[in-house]
Amino acid sequence: MSALVSVKNLTRTFDVSRPWLNRLLEGRPKAFLHAVSDVSFEIEEQSVYALVGESGSGKSTIGKMVVRLLAPSEGVIEIEGTDLFREPDQERVEKIRTDIQMVFQDPYASLNPRWRVRDIINEPVTARGGDGTGLAERLLEQVGLSAGDASKYPHEFSGGQRQRICVARALASEPKLIVCDEPTSALDVSVQAQVLNLMSDLKEEFGLTYLFISHDLTVVEHMADRIGVLYLGRLVEEAPRDSIFNDPKHPYTQMLFAAAPKLDAFGREVEPPKGEIPDPINPPSGCAYHPRCPFAIARCTLERPEMRQVGGSRVACHVAK
């Protein structure tokens, strides 16, 4: 299959400096937070690409750039071969943007409490002058709710039902790509399974492509076809799901999997992860993971590793074999 999404050398830096007068009086320079740094990957059509990593690794920032909620500082994001930030033909950009939707993390905050469910679901269509007659009712039934729920308000639903409404809204414009930013983290475990199974079924039914952002490795193992592991805004490993779960190459990926809860690990002593994520305003030189890495060598402190092929994985590590 061809790549629906192509991300090349993506970088996003935020200016987090104190106000000019404070800097002048205190003698401080400007401060920049490096949220995403030189990330490249591709997402094939009708597949699920998962981004995983600790909090603050840049997962959500990448998702927001893909849907154009944020602009990249550097790099390229191409959807169907079109760079959405540099394409001069704005009509083409708008057409492609209708092929992209997002399901946010918090189903309580992502729905307008003053709107009826019918208006919420129809918004992606009516905002572009389309006719949403009967659309909300049909989509509600497809996500396992009742057509009669279209006249209700968001506060009348549980968390899992609200997330189903968010999925229905995402489907309203018949997208090709849905960015899912921690879509089940605010839900109970049993409800998580229902929403994930729903998303899997809809993927098969509508031929959807997902960019799935999560820190829950159990969810990722259930959903993903290919996985990218982020650390401090850098992509450190990328591989097919089975490859990365059976034989993780990067020391950080190995640490993530070792720290994940396991059903057969009750009563066993598990060594906690060492160290903390470095300050993204002042990241370490060389490999960002080297202050916590048990295998670090002198080269790791000086030279940033490039992505290279190791077995079935792409790995940014000097010592991975």
10 contacts 77 by C-beta, under 8 angstroms: yes
Question: What is the secondary structure of 9-67 as a DSSP string?
Answer: EEEEEEE-PPPHHHHHHHTPPP-EEEEEEEEEEEEETT-EEEEE-STTSSHHHHHHHHT
Mean pLDDT of the chain: 89
- Residue 285: phi, psi to the nearest 5? -75, 165
Q: Is the pLDDT of residue 191 over 90?
A: no
Q: Is the pLDDT of residue 293 over 80?
A: yes
What are the structural domains of the chain? 3-99+175-247 (3.40.50.300)
Beta bridge partners of 33: 14
Q: Is the dihedral of CA 42, 45, 47, 50 positive or negative?
A: positive
Residue 150's pLDDT band, with cuts at 50, 70 and 90, is: very high
Report d(CA 212, CA 181) in Å as an integer: 6
End-to-end CA distance of the chain: 29
Report d(CA 70, CA 13) in Å as an integer: 11
Residue type, 223: M
* Helix/strand/coil percentages in the chain, nearest 5: 35, 20, 45
pTM of the model: 0.90
Please list, residue by residue across 107-128, b when 16 or more beta carbons sit within 10 angstroms of its beta carbon and e when fewer do: beebbeeeebbbebbbbbbeee
Q: Is the pLDDT of residue 244 over 90?
A: yes
* Residue in the block written with tokens 């000019």: 20
What digits encode the pLDDT tens for the residues 79-129? 988 998 998 988 888 888 889 999 988 888 889 999 999 999 998 888 887
Report d(CA 286, CA 266) in Å as an integer: 38
Query: Poorest-confidence range of 35-39, 178-182, 189-193, 262-266?
Result: 262-266
Structure-token pair, residue 309 = 């092929």
Q: What is the percentage of the chain residues whose pLDDT exceeds 90?
A: 60
Report d(CA 172, CA 151) in Å as an integer: 17
pLDDT given at position 263: 62
Q: Is the pLDDT of residue 267 over 70?
A: no
Strand order in the sheet with 74-79: 32-44, 3-15, 74-79, 82-83
240 contacts 249 by C-beta, under 8 angstroms: no
What digits encode the pLDDT tens for the residues 18-39? 999 999 998 889 999 999 999 9
* Residue in the block written with tokens 């959903």: 223
Strand order in the sheet with 100-103: 100-103, 177-181, 209-213, 48-52, 226-231, 234-240, 313-315, 308-310
- Residue 317: phi, psi to the nearest 5? -155, 135
Report d(CA 251, CA 234) in Å as an integer: 14
Report d(CA 308, CA 127) in Å as an integer: 44
Q: Is the pLDDT of residue 177 over 90?
A: yes
pLDDT given at position 250: 94
Structure-token pair, residue 270 = 């598990």
